[in-house]
Amino acid sequence: MSRSLITRASARSKSLAAGTAVLLGTAAAVMGTASTASAATPQEVAKQMMPAAQFQCFDNIVSRESNWNPSATNASSGAYGLVQALPGGKMASAGADWKTNPQTQIKWGLDYMKERYGSPCGAWSFWQANHWY
């Protein structure tokens, strides 16, 4: 094979690789956070879903209720998930994937805390006094 053919083949290969990288990057951008959300921890997802000042309160509750385990089930009450909803099926109002998706559980928990206590920090204040919320 002549040197010019090898050079052109090498250049074409680099061009195809660059084009593939651009396409993959575009696909990831179009998919949005779907590709990164699956790699994110529930804590990272929660941090993105609330004001920074509320995260520590939310973390205090979830750490004690489920230790950030989205499949946590209370054997005596049946409470389920990160935020220990009782019954767990209540979280279906936030999404059909409530049993397995931490983001759905976090959304439901934040809505619950806002409605009932005003905020995660309001819920944490109640939790500290009662050891439940």
| pLDDT per position as a tens digit, 82-130 | 999 999 999 999 999 999 999 999 999 999 999 999 999 999 999 999 9
Q: What is the pLDDT of residue 89?
A: 97
Tell me how far CA of residue 59 lies from CA of 16, 25, 81, 128, in angstroms: 46, 33, 14, 13
Q: What is the pLDDT of residue 62?
A: 98
85 φ/ψ angles, rounded to the nearest 5 degrees: -65, 145
Q: For 34-80, write each residue's pLDDT tens digit.
A: 444 468 999 999 999 999 999 999 999 999 999 999 999 999 999 99
Q: For 24-47, write each residue's pLDDT tens digit.
A: 343 333 334 444 446 899 999 999
Q: Are residues 17 and 46 in the same domain?
A: no
Cβ atoms of 133 and 117 closer than 8 Å: yes
Q: Are residues 62 and 22 in the same domain?
A: no
Q: Are residues 62 and 80 in the same domain?
A: yes
Alpha helices in 66-119 (DSSP H): 102-117
Tokens of 70: 């989205």
The rounded distance, in Å, linking the Cα atoms of 68 and 4 is 59
Q: Which helix (H) or strand (E) holds 132?
A: none
What percentage of residues in the chain have a pLDDT greater than 70? 71
Q: Are residues 112 and 96 in the same domain?
A: yes
Q: Which domain holds residue 24?
A: 1-32
| Domains: count for the chain | 2
Q: Are residues 28 and 73 in the same domain?
A: no
